[in-house]
A and B are shown apart, each in its own frame.
Chain A
Amino acid sequence: MAGYIIRRLLWLPVTLLAVSFLTFSIARFGPGDPVTVAAGQIRDQEVLAQIRAERGLDGSIFEQYGRWVNRAVRGDFGESFQQRGYTVREIIFPKMWVSAQLGLVALFIVFGLGIPLGLLAAWLHGTWLDPFIISVLLFLRALPVIVVIPPLIWLFAVRTDILPVGGWDGVFDIWWIGGVIAVPIPDPHLYIPLVALTLPGFAGVARLVRVTALEVYTEDYVRTARAKGIPESRVATRHVLPNSLLPIVTVVGFALVGIVEGAFFTETLLGIPGIGRLTFEAVGSRDYDVILATTVIVAFLFVVMNLVVEIVYSWIDPRVRLGGSAVV
């Protein structure tokens, strides 16, 4: 297994080089450049050419890419054009952190509620409640955040003044009881984005869990367990539940990568300083190094998470063997 992991990790730099070179070329072959955008209405071509040279934007694309790789391997992702004097790392990591916090809380809720709902639906299979639950969830799934958020703002912020309209202030506020005991309570800025982000999420998880659970119910070992006279509740918790959760590992793994990509609409509508909006704006202003860094970081996490998922799989499911001819 160690050999397998090492072999897979050896591919990581190759993947990252391919991803970064593609992104790099697509960005540079596109029309316009960051110097032009940053200059605004005073665009003296001579001056701009000079700034390009100063910022390393002259020379062939291979030269430029070489310079970028050379810096990137040392952890230097360059400097932003839209935020002069700030390194790309300084700009993207705080925003990724904001998006990740929000995304993580949303994931907890989605899986925390989605899994039991899916199991419940499977357990209720054959009754009207099964399709009922699933269709409620599907209905919610069909609600895009841009439709959900405005009425939530209107209702909870404008009309009733219970919640703030937008902004971000961390996940938890600390309430001090008697100045001694710290009680973390969710920050009020969190509720509207959470509702918007989680409502559509339940359906996917619940349906996946339901389908696998239904399959597991038809397995021989479940029949055997029932035949041995084990109570139904114990069959559900000991035999069905763990086996139904296997595919969820993959979903959780990739959902975890997704949270550092941010949520563009939610962040934009609610004024949350996350990575989704930043990436979108960076593309618009051709902020090359910001675009490149976010792409490479996400690609890196994706490859790593893929490996982690495989390892976790082989660990919780003895039938899966890493490095076996079937898996590679």
Chain B
Amino acid sequence: MGGNNRILAILLGVLAGLVLIVGGLSAVLLLSGGGDDADSASNGGSSGGDGSSTAATSGRLRLGGSDPITLDPALAGDAGSATYIVEIFSGLMTLDEDLEIVPDLAESFDVSADAKTYTFKLRGNAFFHNGRQVEASDVKCSMERAASRQLGSSTAAAYLNDIVGAREMLAGTAREISGIEVVDDRTVRITIDEPKPYFLAKLTYPTAFVIDCQQAESNPRNWTRQPNGTGPYKLREWRLGERIVLEANTRYHLGAPQVQQVVYELAGGSLLTRFENDELDVAGVSVNDIDRVRDQNNPLNDLYVTTPEFSIAYIAFGTTTPPFDDVNVRRAFGLAIDRKRIAEVTFSGMLMPATGVLQPQLPGYTPDDKTLQYDPEAAKRALAASKYAGNMPAITLTEIGGGAEGSVDTQAFIEQWKNVLGVDVQIRQSDAATFFADVDAGRLQMFSSGWIMDYPDPENILDLKFHSRSSLNDIEYANPQLDGLLERARVEGDPTARIKLYQDAEKLILGDAAILPLYFSQNHVVVNQAVQGWIEPPMIIPRLRYVSLER
């Protein structure tokens, strides 16, 4: 056999490989022939005959999700964990679908004249999943456990420290929180250090939730695997990385939920594809799929919902690090970028250009744009006025990511800074662990950052991120005038005056260009027609109890 024949055989082999694949593909396509329209009919809709086979009777809602870091309310500090915790547990107060703070385990509450003492009356029909009635002592021991040193909660200091005696408990110098008083079985009195209007909002966060202390004490490591909560759903099954199954708590004090079972598929994969294949009832839409979903002719379009989210992305400056210790440089950088166009082009308009620090639906939000507007001339003037004009040090922007190039929008900003200001900004991407370590050590000049609201009060972002003495102020920003406004807002009793103070604070932050707000996030989801009452709130709130299924 000659060499030519051999090469011919190899070529034939490769050809056969191709034929195998292409042929296989087309064969299946041909076989499925009629499947075309049948397929699009069953898309998501599932009201058609086929989809309603097993799912109809079981009353089972199928969602995508990921493993929570913890189901212990006192330890959770992330939205992923909170998603499940708010359904399994509850606290004295909660947020309803309009984000109003309403009583939950509490039936009612009274506030003292000095606005420092809250007396909560518990509901007579509030029970743990095991049938035990919720008592005032459960409230006290839950919060004390959250604040205990041994538990090592990273959120307790932020959420409970307004309560008198909580700091001592957190520091390990007290064995109880003196400001929580059990008056009788159904009455608990909480005293806070100063009249703080946002205190009730903080109680809606999992750190302040009620747990079954006996259960947690008897099995401190593993009690959250079968948590005895008080929420609308019970944890029925949690297989790591596979699924979480919640079962309706028919004795729930705010009314039994309508969906019997909620299954979260945790293993990932393409959730939208699984939605289209009728394996999930709700799925998020990513930037890769958004054009397809927005297409009027696509069956998914009717099922598409988009709502705002309490979350802001911004560029943060190390405000004590050259050259960003000069307000003129910060302003110049803000004036030189056209966020609106970049948001439109790079994210297909999936994100809303930020109009300030406070996000839509938050108290104090106004729709007018308060951020620095794109103005190349003004940007150049600001830079020229800075003390770094002509001797600009090297600048690096750090963001979370796995490549060397930088995300698309960051690249666009860097391009604009170069074109408008003539400043070269280097980009550095690092993984989350490295990034957080660098941010916390104050090592970064300039970084992509953001904040997700934990409770719908301006204090949660303005005070926490910008007060000079806040432990979460990671840009080392210090402005005495701002501190003054924020401290007055903390104790201002008149809601309108208080919101006004926060709006002034926001203006100050934006005028100083402490950060450059970029976008407000939005939820983009598709929801199966059979799912009624699904809400996409701007933050994590208990929502499964509003849902019903019609199939």
Any B CB within 8 A of the CB of A47: yes
Any B CB within 8 A of the CB of A8: no
Interface residues on A, range: 35 or more
**Residue in A30, A129, A160, A278 whose beta carbon sits within 8 Å of that of B241 in the complex:** A278
Q: In terms of DSSP, what is the predominant structure of the interface of chain A?
A: helix
Q: Are A43 and B32 in contact (CB under 8 A)?
A: no
Any A CB within 8 A of the CB of B112: no
Q: Are A36 and B10 in contact (CB under 8 A)?
A: no
Q: Are B431 and A42 in contact (CB under 8 A)?
A: no
Q: Are B14 and A135 in contact (CB under 8 A)?
A: yes
Shortest Cβ distance from A273 into B: residue = B241
Q: Which residues of A contact B29 (CB under 8 A)?
A: 155, 159
Q: Which of B76-110 contact A (CB under 8 A)?
A: 77-78
Any B CB within 8 A of the CB of A285: yes
Q: Are B75 and A128 in contact (CB under 8 A)?
A: no
Chain B interfacial residues counted at CB < 8 A: 74
Q: Are A51 and B152 in contact (CB under 8 A)?
A: yes
Contact string against A for B residues 1-43, beta-carbon threshold 8 Å, 1 for contact and 0 otherwise: 1000110111111101110100001001101100100010010
CB distance from A137 to the nearest CB of B (A): 8
**Residue in B18, B154, B451 whose beta carbon sits within 8 Å of that of A39 in the complex:** B154
Tell me, in angstroms, the Cα distance from A160 to B26 when the chains sit together: 12
Contact string against B for A residues 43-56, beta-carbon threshold 8 Å, 1 for contact and 0 otherwise: 11111101100110
CB distance from B455 to the nearest CB of A (A): 12
Shortest Cβ distance from B450 into A: residue = A41
Knowing A46-B471, A160-B28, say if A85 contacts B269 (CB, 8 Å). Answer: no
Q: Are B265 and A167 in contact (CB under 8 A)?
A: yes
Q: Which residues of A contact B222 (CB under 8 A)?
A: 85
Q: Among A66-74, A179-187, A263-271, A305-313, which stretch is in contact with chain B?
A: A263-271
Q: Are B267 and A166 in contact (CB under 8 A)?
A: yes
Knowing A83-B67, A164-B279, say if A126 contacts B267 (CB, 8 Å). Answer: no
Any A CB within 8 A of the CB of B297: no
Q: Are B12 and A95 in contact (CB under 8 A)?
A: no
Q: Are A43 and B472 in contact (CB under 8 A)?
A: yes
Shortest Cβ distance from B70 into A: residue = A84
Q: Which residues of B contact A42 (CB under 8 A)?
A: 77, 154-155, 158, 454, 472
Q: Are A269 and B269 in contact (CB under 8 A)?
A: yes
Q: Are B436 and A50 in contact (CB under 8 A)?
A: no
Q: Are B433 and A31 in contact (CB under 8 A)?
A: yes
Q: Are A131 and B157 in contact (CB under 8 A)?
A: no
Contact string against A for B residues 146-188, beta-carbon threshold 8 Å, 1 for contact and 0 otherwise: 0001101111111000000000000000000000000000000
Q: Are A155 and B25 in contact (CB under 8 A)?
A: yes
Contact string against B for A residues 267-283, beta-carbon threshold 8 Å, 1 for contact and 0 otherwise: 01111110001100000
Q: Are B13 and A32 in contact (CB under 8 A)?
A: no
Q: Which residues of A contact B295 (CB under 8 A)?
A: none
Q: Are A37 and B436 in contact (CB under 8 A)?
A: yes
Any A CB within 8 A of the CB of B72: yes
Q: Are A160 and B267 in contact (CB under 8 A)?
A: no
- The CB with the most chain B CB atoms within 10 A, among A37, A41, A47, A86, is that of A41
Tell me, in angstroms, the Cα distance from A244 to B242 when the chains sit together: 42
Q: Among B270-278, B408-416, B502-510, which stretch is in contact with chain A?
A: B270-278
Q: Are A31 and B437 in contact (CB under 8 A)?
A: yes
CB distance from B204 to the nearest CB of A (A): 16
Q: Are B277 and A161 in contact (CB under 8 A)?
A: yes
**Residue in B6, B276, B432 whose beta carbon sits within 8 Å of that of A37 in the complex:** B432
Q: Are A151 and B276 in contact (CB under 8 A)?
A: no
CB distance from A147 to the nearest CB of B (A): 11
Q: Are B221 and A43 in contact (CB under 8 A)?
A: no
Contact string against B for A residues 132-174, beta-carbon threshold 8 Å, 1 for contact and 0 otherwise: 1111101110000000000101011111110011111000000
Besides A44-B158, A166-B270, A270-B269, 18 other A-B contacts (C-beta < 8 A): A30-B434, A32-B432, A32-B434, A36-B440, A39-B77, A41-B77, A42-B155, A42-B472, A46-B471, A47-B157, A55-B152, A84-B224, A136-B16, A158-B273, A161-B39, A161-B277, A168-B242, A273-B242
Complex A-B: 16 CB contacts under 8 Å: A31-B437, A33-B437, A39-B77, A43-B440, A45-B471, A54-B150, A85-B223, A127-B1, A136-B20, A159-B32, A160-B32, A161-B35, A161-B39, A166-B267, A167-B265, A270-B269
> Which 5 residue pairs of A and B lie closest in terms of their CB atoms, listed nearest first?
A32-B433, A271-B269, A135-B13, A166-B269, A273-B241
